[in-house]
Amino acid sequence: TKSLPVIAVDGPAAAGKGTLAKCLADALCLPYLDTGLLYRAVGRLMLDGDLDPATQSGEQIAAALRPDDLKRTDLRTPDVDRAASLVAGDQAVRQALVHTQRAFAAERGGVLDGRDIGTVIFPDADVKLYITASVRTRAERRYMQTGGSVDAPDREARISEVEAALTERDRADTSRSAAPLRMAADAVKIETDTLIAEQVLAEAIRIVKSVLDAKAF
Ligand code: CDP
Ligand code: CDP
């Protein structure tokens, strides 16, 4: 009999990967892992001066990460966004996190969201979804997610700032040599510009069912 499925959810920042992956995992009774948190935690340790990727090996960095580091409430600030993207370009850091991610889904399957789940971490994932939207849509979403209001007088200026930061992170994530963000050849893309989260979930469930059915799960 086949083991439980592994579902990869990749795409650029603020596309709605986390929202989808979490709901999908709940719907399918699979464990969920936000892999961005691993890079955010490493970035946080570096900002705090607790870690120096320039002098510490990937193994040391992985050993330094404790479960509590992933539960910190200060992992979603703009400086951690940048630090995470920076450390994510380091091959030794990425290598150190491969085992953690593979081990997570080894026994009970799982839904993992990130940038390289379908390309590097689980190239044989049972289902690969690529979630995307225009940078403008993603900037509006991140603006609202971080406490922005629809009628703030500086709304446009703040969305422009978020858009610039997302554009820079997209550039770094897609152009780095270590596991760059790209859609796997066998991934199914969902363009979410005109979809609310519930519609993305419904579409994803439809895709997952059809792919798993075809594989006789
Ligand atoms: O939530 P958001 O999409 O803004 O970011 P995230 O998924 O938490 O990821 C933060 C950063 O970690 C990204 O900009 C990537 O540089 C890096 N990352 C990665 O390289 N590979 C992953 N599987 C997940 C995140
Ligand atoms: O994980 P990722 O950075 O890709 O995005 P997220 O944190 O899941 O979603 C970013 C924000 O967009 C959240 O506030 C979601 O509620 C929102 N969202 C949305 O408005 N419409 C969607 N179709 C998906 C997410």
Which residues share a beta bridge with 189? Answer: 130
Nearest ligand to residue 162 Cα: 1
Which residues share a beta bridge with 33? Answer: 112
Q: Whose CA is nearest to atom 4 of ligand 1?
A: 13
Among 12-21, 39-48, 83-92, the range of highest mean pLDDT: 12-21
Predicted confidence band of residue 104 (pLDDT cuts 50, 70, 90): very high
Residue from 20, 22, 35 whose mutation best tests the ligand 1 pocket (most atoms within 8 A of CB): 35
- Residue 16 Cβ inside 6 Å of ligand 2? The answer reads yes
Give me the residue label for tokens 């992170």. Answer: 169
Predicted confidence band of residue 51 (pLDDT cuts 50, 70, 90): confident
ipTM of the prediction: 0.98
Residue 93: inside a domain, yes or no? yes
pLDDT of residue 217: 82
Q: What's the rounded Cα separation, in Å, for the pair 115 and 36? A: 8
Looking at the predicted structure, is the pLDDT value of residue 78 above 70?
Answer: yes
Residue 209: inside a domain, yes or no? no
Looking at the predicted structure, is the pLDDT value of residue 107 above 60?
Answer: yes
Residue 169: inside a domain, yes or no? yes
Taking residues 25-54, what's their average pLDDT? Answer: 92
Domain span at residue 133 reads 6-204
Find the helix or strand (DSSP H, E) in which 34 lies.
strand 32-34
Q: What's the rounded Cα separation, in Å, for the pair 146 and 63? A: 31
Q: What's the rounded Cα separation, in Å, for the pair 95 and 99? A: 8
What the block records as the tokens of 147 is 């406490």
- Residue 88 Cβ inside 6 Å of ligand 1? The answer reads yes
Q: Whose CA is nearest to atom 1 of ligand 2?
A: 18
Residue 211: inside a domain, yes or no? no
Find the helix or strand (DSSP H, E) in which 112 lies.
strand 110-114
Q: What is the pTM for the complete model shown?
A: 0.96
Predicted confidence band of residue 156 (pLDDT cuts 50, 70, 90): very high
What the block records as the tokens of 197 is 């989260």
What the block records as the tokens of 120 is 């590097």
pLDDT of residue 2: 64
CATH number at residue 144: 3.40.50.300
pLDDT of residue 64: 80
Q: What's the rounded Cα separation, in Å, for the pair 183 and 167? A: 17
Of 51 and 132, the structure prediction assigns the larger pLDDT to 132
Looking at the predicted structure, is the pLDDT value of residue 21 above 70?
Answer: yes
Residue 53: inside a domain, yes or no? yes
Residue 132: inside a domain, yes or no? yes
- Residue 11 Cβ inside 6 Å of ligand 1? The answer reads no
- Residue 39 Cβ inside 6 Å of ligand 1? The answer reads yes
Residue 35 DSSP code: T
Q: 148: alpha, beta or left, given left = phi > 0 and alpha = psi -120 to 50?
A: beta
Taking residues 189-193, what's their average pLDDT? Answer: 98
Nearest ligand to residue 140 Cα: 2
Count structural domains, the chain: 1
Give me the residue label for tokens 């069912």. Answer: 209
Please list the alpha-helical segments (H only) found in the chain.
17-28, 36-47, 58-64, 78-87, 91-106, 135-145, 155-175, 197-214
Q: Which residues contact 9 (CB under 8 A, 6 or more apart)?
A: 17, 20, 21, 24, 111, 112, 113, 114, 117, 129, 131
Residue 198: inside a domain, yes or no? yes
Residue 98: inside a domain, yes or no? yes
Of 5-14, 44-53, 57-66, 111-120, the one with minimum mean pLDDT is 57-66
Q: Are 5 and 126 in contact (CB under 8 A)?
A: yes
Looking at the predicted structure, is the pLDDT value of residue 126 above 70?
Answer: yes
Handedness of CA 46, 49, 51, 54 (dihedral sign): positive
Handedness of CA 202, 207, 209, 212 (dihedral sign): negative
Give me the residue label for tokens 């799982």. Answer: 110
Phi, psi of 10 (to 5 degrees): -115, 165
CA of 37 from ligand 1 middle (Å) equals: 7
